[in-house]
């Protein structure tokens, strides 16, 4: 009979999860984050998004020594040269990462161990909308279809519960419900 | 007096823009795309999103020789080790790339030349929602604030018109309006 509480579940340290939750419950201000991306247009459908600093836990983060640069590009059929993945692919990447992390973290907080997660995210889009060729066609994804392949000592019902955890994902919330966006020109 | 029609505007070849538009108007089926991401969980808040193949123009694309791999990670304050940008930062990257490309392409189609575009995207989020600590707090971004710094031989009114072009962005549509998402388990 196992009586030892495991220190690490799904790669998360249990004491760190508890510590974070307790800290936020003591002071909800530390839960407020501002994430930031800077973008520079290169030419045509090629631009670079840069990620480094953010605010959270009541302070500017200093944990990152270098910035990440993500090249947005387009394939030839969409008038580019494959300078990088295209923006709607980055959107699916964000959604996949966020749902996976959210699932694993909520499982860890409940002591549910997972062996592996592989997933696929397929997005259907009609570029007539984006190109302004048909008012009846929306600009964005018409549908996103997601399949999770979860392995572990888990019943089908438990796997469905894990998918339920993934619905807490911030990117899933934005992608399914939308959010408020303000756009302006630099003064 | 300039009478020569420019072949390239903002890095896009004018004849390629016209060719794409004519081809889609002849056969709208070629405007239907399916973009795909595969994701593999590594451990904790670290997972990898992989991008390569897609369907579009009535065929499987074969233009990409290798796949891109994007590491999703979390900073220490969110229980990770900065294994990569975090998913909500990838979301802002996608939004920045898509609005920039859309702006530049629609400008090119109208013959409007732009010298440079730099932009910043700031997203406000309260992680109490994501962590399930407060039902009154939404999981995703509460607000995204965007500032475009556009340079060129352009009036303030023309720059506002360029921002209007960016509203055709597919990622902007999804982020502001949400979309339909279906989630299932692999059989």
pLDDT tens per residue across span B86-101: 999 999 999 999 999 9
pLDDT of residue A187: 86
**Burial (CB count <10 Å: 0-12, 13-18, 19+), residue B36:** middle
pLDDT attached to residue A68: 98
Report the complex ipTM: 0.96
In chain B, the residue whose alpha carbon lies closest to the alpha carbon of A74 is: B101
Residue B187 has a pLDDT of 86
All residues of chain A having their beta carbon less than 8 Å from the beta carbon of residue B144 are 179-182
**Residue (of B158, B117, B126) closest to A72 by Cα position:** B117
Distance from the Cα of B1 to chain A's closest Cα (Å) equals 27
Higher pLDDT, B130 or A6: B130
Check A86 against B95: CB less than 8 A apart.
Answer: no
Angle, vertex CA A115, rays to CA A101 and CA B76, nearest 5: 35
Cα gap A168→A160, rounded to integer Å: 14
d(CA A22, CA A37): 30
Chain position carrying tokens 């590594």: B42
Cα(A85)–Cα(A92) distance, rounded to whole angstroms? Answer: 11
Tens digits of per-residue pLDDT, A88-115?
999 999 999 999 999 999 999 999 999 9
From residue A36, give the alpha-carbon distance in Å to each of A55, A155, B103: 9, 40, 20
Instruction: Reply yes or no on whether the pLDDT at A43 is more than 90.
Output: yes
Kindly report the pTM of this predicted structure: 0.96
Which residue of A101, A130, A139 is in closest CB contact with B45? A101
pLDDT above 90 coverage of chain A, percent: 96
Mean pLDDT of A35-53: 98
| Separation in Å, CA of B154 to nearest CA in chain A | 13
pLDDT for A136 beyond 90: yes
Closest CA relative to residue B80, chosen from A22, A63, A143: A63
Q: Where are the beta strands (DSSP E) in B12-156?
A: 12-13, 32-43, 46-51, 54-56, 59-60, 68-72, 116-126, 143-151
Set of chain B residues whose Cβ sits within 8 Å of the Cβ of A89: 35, 37, 51, 54
Q: What's the pLDDT at B1?
A: 46
- In this prediction, residue A5 carries a pLDDT of 60
Q: Is B171 helix (H, G, I), strand (E, B) or coil?
A: helix
Nearest to B25 among A25, A100, A133 (CB): A133
Rounded average pLDDT over B102-109 = 97
Q: Considering only the beta carbons, identify the residue of B125, B171, B176 that sits closest to A87.
A: B171
pLDDT band, residue B5 (cuts 50/70/90): low
pLDDT digits (tens, 9 = 90+) for A68-77: 999 999 999 9
Q: What is the pLDDT of residue A81?
A: 96
Q: What's the whole-number mean pLDDT along residues B68-84?
A: 97
Number of alpha carbons in the 13 Å side-chain half-sphere of residue B15:
3
B5: closest CA of chain A, how far (Å): 18
Q: Which among A17, A44, A101 is the nearest to B87, CB-wise?
A: A101
Q: Tell me which chain B residue has its CA closest to the CA of residue A173.
A: B140
- Closest residue of chain A to B161, computed from CA coordinates: A185
| Separation CA B170–CA B163 (nearest Å) | 14
Q: Cβ B70–A85 below 8 Å, yes or no?
A: yes
Determine the average pLDDT of the residues in A22-34: 97
Above 70 in pLDDT, residue B4? no
| Per-residue pLDDT at A1 | 46
């Amino acid at each position: 009979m196992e009586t030892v509480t495991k220190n690490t579940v799904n790669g998360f340290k249990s004491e760190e999860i508890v510590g974070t939750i307790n800290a936020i419950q003591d002071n909800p201000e530390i839960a407020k984050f501002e994430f930031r991306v800077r973008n520079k247009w290169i030419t045509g459908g090629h631009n670079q998004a840069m990620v480094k600093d953010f605010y959270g836990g009541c302070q500017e983060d200093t944990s990152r020594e270098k910035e990440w640069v993500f090249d947005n590009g387009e394939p030839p059929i969409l008038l580019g040269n494959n300078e990088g993945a295209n923006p709607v692919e980055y959107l699916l990447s964000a959604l996949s990462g966020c749902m996976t992390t959210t699932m694993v973290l909520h499982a860890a907080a409940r002591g549910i161990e997972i062996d592996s997660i592989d997933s696929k995210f397929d997005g259907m889009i009609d570029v007539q909308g984006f190109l302004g060729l048909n008012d009846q066609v929306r600009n964005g994804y018409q549908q996103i279809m997601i399949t999770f392949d979860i392995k572990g000592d888990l019943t089908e019902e438990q796997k469905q519960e894990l998918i339920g955890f993934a619905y807490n994902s911030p990117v899933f919330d934005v992608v399914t419900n939308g959010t408020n966006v303000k756009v302006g020109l630099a003064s």
